[in-house]
Structures are given as C-alpha cells and as structure tokens.
Chains A and B, each alone.
Chain A
Amino acid sequence: MNQETEKTLAFFGRMTANLTHEFKNILAIIQESAGLMEDIMAISPLAKDKYQERFNNSMNTIKNQLQRGMEMASRFNRFAHSPDHNSAELELGETMVHFCTLTERFARLKHITLQADSQNGQEIKITTNPLLLYMVLFYSLDACLSVLPAQCEIRLISAKKDENAAVEIACTGKQAPSPEQFFTGLRQSNAWGELENTAEQLNAELKCNTDDLRFYLILK
C-alpha cells in the first residue's frame, strides 16, 4: 500500500469512527425513550393518560433523534461517495455546512464551537476533487484543534479571494493564543504537514493572515 492510500484510509477511518459513535448515541437515546414509553404503558393500560406529558416528551425525543439520525445518515452517505469522482461540481457554502455537520463532534470533544458560514451569503460553485477538499478541510480543522484551548470558535467561511473561490478558516476566543503562538503551533502540528501536502495535490494555495488567527485555502 502506498503512502497516499494509507493516508486516505486513515482519514476515512477517523471520519467513520467519529460518525458511528454519533449513530450509537442517537440509537441509545431512541432506545431509552422507546423503553420509557414501554415502561409507562406497562404500569397500566390507563397509564398513558396519567403520564401523557412524559409520553409526549419521549415521543418528541424519538422523532428528533430519528431526524438527527436521518440527516447524519444522508451526510455520511454523501461523504462515503466523495471518492467516486476525481472531479465534481460543488457549492462551497453547502459543502462547508456538510463538512461541519460531519466533524462537529471532534470540536465538541474539545469544547470548541465549529461553524460554517458564507461571505455575504453568496453562492460559490467550484469544480474540484471532493475527497481532497474534505481532506484539506479536515487537516485544517485538526491543526486548529491541536492549538486552540476550550471555549474558542472555528468558522469555516466560503468566500471569494482575488477572484478565486476560497475557504477562510477564522478562529476566535477570549483564551485564544496570540497570532504568533497560533501559527507556530499550527506549523508544528502533524496535521499542518498533511494539510500542505494535500493542498498541493488539490492545487490549492495556503495563505496565512498573521495579523489575527485566520488563514485561507485558495482553490484554483
């Protein structure tokens, strides 16, 4: 197995493990809520009326979790198809939302908020390699998470920069490091090396704004 294949498999492994963990949490909540409804019904056939509020709460929880599970499954399916084509047309803002939903848990585990945004709400269509794009976004996130402390926020913003489509990665937070510490930390992280290599394969340029905690992936 060559190094690139190993890298891609490792990326898919981390994403898949993260998503299956989310699925298990969703199923656990559905199971407990359904179990609670069953418990209430088992008390007596009339219990449903007596415990109507608990019953309704459980029903709503089941519905919400099913919705969460279905959305996660759709996004997981779309992610799983990302290696199908070397080139595909994507809307960048929607891709950011998709990516953030898939990876929000990585940030949550570090008490960091991850958010997708778009510059002026504009639609930006790009034709690119979807798998490599997900990989550069993942390495960008991974590098930021290795440097930022809890309670910070990471925003992935679809934008235009010098006529090119771009992703702006902007980090903020009261306890955030100085720009110098931030970029030194990023460059020392393993993810940053992977990001540089993968960005090169994607023909994307990495541009750092050293005045604040912000860098760009310019997609050419």
Chain B
Amino acid sequence: MNDSIKVLLVDDEEEFVTTLAERLEMRGFDPSIATSGDQALSMVQDKAFDLIVLDLMMPGIGGLEVMKQIKSANPEMPIILLTGQGSTKEGMEGMNQGAFDFLMKPLDIEELISQIHEALGKTSA
C-alpha cells in the first residue's frame, strides 16, 4: 500500500536522512532526500511529491520558512515536521502555520509511516 507514495525527506544530517530513506524504500515508499532548505525548494519545483517530511532546524533557510514557501505555491501539500528540540513548542508553532503534524527526534519509523498514511487519508496496514 506504500507503492508510489513519493516522500521528500529534508534534513541537514545526511546520514540520518539517507538511512531513513533506505528504510522507507524497504517498506515500499518512493523517497527522495534533500539536505538543505534550498535543495528542498528546488526539488519541489522539479518533481511532484505526495508528502514532505521536514526538519525544523537547518542551516540557511529553516524548516518553517521552507514550509511557508512550499505552502504558498501548493497549499494542499501535507508536511510533517521533525524536531530535535526538547519541547513541543516549535512543532506546535509549525502546526499553527499549516503542518499536518510534528514528530520528535529520534523518531519511531512506524509512527512516521502511520502519520504519512493519516496525512494522505490512507489506512495503515
């Protein structure tokens, strides 16, 4: 049921995002990765994604600004935020600005998948 779900994973920690992509791929997703906000913004112009998983705190353009720019071009794009902060404040702020939900790092992949399905209106297997 994950076939053809195109997910863009955005995080400046390359090893994290690469491994997460590999794990999602093993579960049938079609993941792509970006390691900066700039790269993510350029990728969304070239390819249609079903959903974006976006780290909040990145060098250069931060997660909230990236989300704002993506949402201004495509308001319906579901975005799940990742936060490494100890509190939920930044995640809540992101939800107020249009994110579907937020997850804390380190994350549980099954929880992420469940959130992806929920955001896309699918039922988890």
For residue A61, CB closer than 8 A to chain B, the reply is: yes
Asked if residues A36 and B19 are in contact (CB atoms below 8 Å), the reply is yes
A20 to chain B, nearest CB (A): 6
Asked if residues A24 and B105 are in contact (CB atoms below 8 Å), the reply is yes
Q: Which residues in B have their C-beta under 8 angstroms from that of A24?
A: 84-85, 105-106
With the chains together, A35 CA to B113 CA distance in Å? 14
- A27 partner, pick from B15, B19, B23, B105, beta carbons under 8 A: B105
Q: Which residues in B have their C-beta under 8 angstroms from that of A111?
A: 59-60
For residue A25, CB closer than 8 A to chain B, the reply is: yes
A156 to chain B, nearest CB (A): 20
Interface residues on B, range: 10 to 19
For residue B86, CB closer than 8 A to chain A, the reply is: yes
Asked if residues B23 and A39 are in contact (CB atoms below 8 Å), the reply is yes
Q: Which residues in A have their C-beta under 8 angstroms from that of B106?
A: 24, 27-28, 30-32
Q: Which residues in B have their C-beta under 8 angstroms from that of A35?
A: 19, 23, 109
- Per-position contact with A for B77-98: 1 when CB-CB < 8 Å, else 0? 0000000111000000000000
For residue A150, CB closer than 8 A to chain B, the reply is: yes
Asked if residues B13 and A21 are in contact (CB atoms below 8 Å), the reply is no
With the chains together, A58 CA to B15 CA distance in Å? 10
With the chains together, A172 CA to B26 CA distance in Å? 45
B29 to chain A, nearest CB (A): 13
With the chains together, A61 CA to B109 CA distance in Å? 18
Specify which of A17, A28, A35, A54 lies most central, judged by the most chain B CB atoms within 10 Å of its CB.
Answer: A28
Number of residue pairs spanning A and B whose beta carbons lie under 8 angstroms apart? 59
Given that A25-B16, A25-B84 are contacting pairs, would A36 and B23 also be in contact in the complex, using a CB cutoff of 8 Å?
Answer: yes
B68 to chain A, nearest CB (A): 18
Looking across the interface, which residue of chain B has its beta carbon closest to that of A40?
Answer: B26
For residue B22, CB closer than 8 A to chain A, the reply is: yes
Asked if residues B16 and A29 are in contact (CB atoms below 8 Å), the reply is yes
Asked if residues A150 and B60 are in contact (CB atoms below 8 Å), the reply is yes
For residue A109, CB closer than 8 A to chain B, the reply is: yes
For residue B41, CB closer than 8 A to chain A, the reply is: no
Asked if residues B23 and A32 are in contact (CB atoms below 8 Å), the reply is yes
For residue A140, CB closer than 8 A to chain B, the reply is: no
Asked if residues B105 and A108 are in contact (CB atoms below 8 Å), the reply is no
- Residue pairs across A and B with Cβ atoms less than 8 A apart, 15 shown, are A20-B86, A21-B85, A24-B84, A24-B106, A28-B106, A29-B15, A30-B106, A32-B109, A35-B19, A35-B109, A39-B26, A58-B19, A61-B15, A61-B19, A108-B59
Contact residues of B with A, CB < 8 Å?
13, 15-16, 19-20, 22-23, 26, 57-60, 84-86, 105-107, 109
5 A-B pairs closest in CB distance: A24-B84, A28-B106, A32-B19, A31-B106, A28-B105
Contact residues of A with B, CB < 8 Å?
17, 20-21, 24-25, 27-33, 35-36, 39, 54, 58, 61, 65, 108-111, 150
